[in-house]
Chain A
Amino acid sequence: MAATGYVAADDLAMALHLSLMLGRPLLLEGAAGVGKTQVARTLAGLKDTRLIRLQCYEGLDASHAIYEWNYQKQLLAIRASEGSEDRVFSEAYLLERPLLAAIRQPVAPVLLIDEIDRADEEFEAYLLEILSDYQISIPELGTITAVTRPMVILTSNGTRDLSDALRRRCIYTYVDYPDRATEMAILRAHHPGLEAVLIGQIVGFVQSLRKEDLEKVPGVAETLDFAAALAGLGINDLTADPVALRAALVTLLKTQADRAAVPVEVAQRIAGKAA
Chain B
Amino acid sequence: MNVTRFPARAAGPAERVAGFLAHLRGNGMALGVQDCGLAVAALTHVRAQDIGEARLALKAVCSSCAEDFARFDDLFAAYWTNAGRERAGKAAGNDRQRSSQVSEQDGMAGAGRAERPDTDGLGEAEQDGIGRLVGSRVRNLMRVDLREVVAPADMAEAEAVAARLARAIRDRRSRRRIAARRGARLDVRRVVRGSLATGGEPLRLYAKRRPERPTRLVCLLDVSGSMAVYARVFLAFLKGLMTADAQTDAYLFHTRLVRITDALRDKDALRAVNRMSLLAQGFGGGTRIGGNLAAFNKSYAKRLVSGRSVVLILSDGFDTDPPAIIGAELARLKKRGCRIVWLNPLKGWQGYQPVAGAMAAALPHLDLFAAANTLESLAALEPELARL
Contact = CB atoms under 8 A, between A and B. Distances in A.
Interface of A: 10-11, 14-15, 17-19, 21-22, 24, 27, 29, 71-72, 75, 79, 158-161, 164, 167-168, 170-174, 257
Given A11-B60, A164-B30, A172-B63, A18 B42 contact: yes
Given A14-B57, A75-B198, A79-B199, A22 B41 contact: yes
A11 B45 CA distance: 15
Contacts of A10: 52, 56
Interface string B51-63: 0110011011101
B197 A14 contact: no
A168 B30 contact: yes
Nearest to A75: B198
Given A164-B30, A168-B30, A18 B57 contact: yes
Contact of A24 (B38, B52, B203): B38
A11 B66 CA distance: 13
A141 to B, nearest CB: 21
* Contact residues of B: prevailing secondary structure: helix
Contact of A168 (B32, B45, B46, B56): B32
A11 B65 CA distance: 14
Contacts of A173: 59-60, 69
A53 to B, nearest CB: 23
B66 A18 contact: no
A193 to B, nearest CB: 34
B64 interface: yes
A172 B69 contact: yes
B171 interface: no
B303 interface: yes
Interface residues of B, number: 31
B70 interface: yes
A64 to B, nearest CB: 13
11 contacts: A14-B59, A18-B42, A19-B60, A21-B42, A27-B64, A29-B65, A71-B204, A72-B197, A75-B198, A168-B30, A171-B60
Contacts of A14: 46, 53, 56-57, 59-60
Nearest to B32: A168
B45 A15 contact: no
A19 B63 CA distance: 14
Interface in B52-111: 52-53, 56-57, 59-61, 63-66, 68-70
Contacts of B57: 14, 18
Contact of B60 (A18, A72, A158): A18
A60 to B, nearest CB: 14
Nearest to B60: A15
Given A24-B38, A167-B65, 6 more contacts: A14-B57, A15-B56, A19-B60, A172-B68, A174-B66, A174-B70
Contacts, number: 71
Interface string B193-206: 00001110001100
A122 to B, nearest CB: 13
A120 B271 CA distance: 31
Contacts of B64: 27, 164, 167-168, 170, 172
A11 B32 contact: no
Contacts of A19: 60
B333 to A, nearest CB: 12
Given A72-B197, A79-B199, A171-B60, A22 B38 contact: yes
B35 interface: yes
A102 B205 CA distance: 32
B87 to A, nearest CB: 27
Given A17-B45, A72-B197, A171 B303 contact: no
Contacts of A17: 45-46
A173 B34 CA distance: 19
A29 B59 CA distance: 14
Contacts of A168: 30, 32, 34-35, 64
A266 to B, nearest CB: 17
Contacts of B203: 75
B32 to A, nearest CB: 6
A29 B66 contact: yes
Which 7 A/B pairs are nearest by Cβ-Cβ distance? Answer: A15-B60, A14-B56, A167-B64, A21-B45, A174-B69, A171-B60, A172-B64
A57 to B, nearest CB: 16
A11 B34 CA distance: 22
A268 B159 CA distance: 55
Point out which of B41, B69, B199 has the most chain A C-beta atoms below 10 A from its C-beta.
B69
A63 to B, nearest CB: 10
Interface centre among B34, B57, B60, B332 (most CB of A within 10 A): B60
Nearest to A19: B60
A19 B42 CA distance: 9
Contact of A158 (B30, B59, B66, B204): B66
Q: Which of B30, B34, B64, B203 has the most CB of A within 10 A?
A: B64
Contacts of B70: 174
Contacts of B65: 29, 161, 167, 172
Interface in B1-57: 30, 32, 34-35, 38, 41-42, 45-46, 52-53, 56-57
A24 to B, nearest CB: 7
Nearest to B34: A168
B265 to A, nearest CB: 14
Contacts of B38: 22, 24
